[in-house]
Amino acid sequence: MKTNYIRHPARFEFTLRVAIMNTILARCSALLTATLTLLGAIMFLCFLSTAFDKPSSSAKLNAGRIAVDSANDYSQTVDFNNDLGLITIDLESTLDHLFNWNVKQLFVYLTAEYETSQNKFNQVVLWDRIILRGTKASLVYRNMNSKYYFWDDGHGLRGNPNVTLRLSWNSIPNVGALSFMQSEGSYTFSFPDTYTERRK
């Protein structure tokens, strides 16, 4: 016996709508995938265009007043009596040429590096500045006090004969990896053997 199936109009309309929606979603997904792939390829090519561009820069550094004090560092919970370096800094450097279309900003910082009996390598950030693209990138400072305290985690500054100032920067790109660079030129000085006399 042959059975005749009658297609229900409402069910057929629902199936048609589902098919149309699936087609639209599939096309949107394909379009989105193609767009993201193209965008990723463009970003990679943009990264390659400046990946090997590593311009250097020089810096003239000098230290004016150089003294060391024994003070209480209350940020420490134990052994808070430490050496505190007191210096004024002359800094001159031009960084405008470090910018290209892919450099959004520079994070520039000045460090003091030295060796003590406790630590083979010590590095203290004394000053920093963020330079945005389109702003003046020439640094000229005279007798500048350090922006941050020059603390040692002990008594390794007094009489230290080899403290080196260096200017460094991070280049922050629109596309690609963060890069680290150091300037050509540094300044080395020594701290006195005695603590500075405090005013009475």
Q: What is the pLDDT along the chain (200 residues), one digit of tens a residue?
A: 555 555 555 565 656 565 666 677 777 887 888 888 888 777 777 766 666 667 788 999 999 999 999 888 777 666 678 999 999 999 999 999 998 888 899 999 999 999 998 899 999 999 999 999 889 999 999 999 999 999 998 899 999 999 999 999 999 888 777 889 899 999 999 999 999 876 54
Does domain 59-189 fall into CATH 3.30.1490?
Answer: no
Output b/e per residue, 157-192; b: 16+ Cβ within 10 A.
bbebeebebbbbbebbbebbeebebebeeebebebe
Give the model's pLDDT for residue 112.
Answer: 97
Model confidence over 128-157: pLDDT tens digits? 999 998 899 999 999 999 999 999 988 999
Query: Distance of alpha carbon 63 from its chain centroid, rounded?
Result: 25
Query: Distance of alpha carbon 64 from its chain centroid, rounded?
Result: 28
Query: Residue 150 pairs with which residues in a beta bridge?
Result: 85
What is the C-alpha separation between 118 and 111, in angstroms, rounded? 19
Beta-sheet strands, E only, within 95-173: 103-114, 122-132, 138-145, 150-151, 163-173
Give the model's pLDDT for residue 48.
Answer: 67
Whole-structure pTM value: 0.75
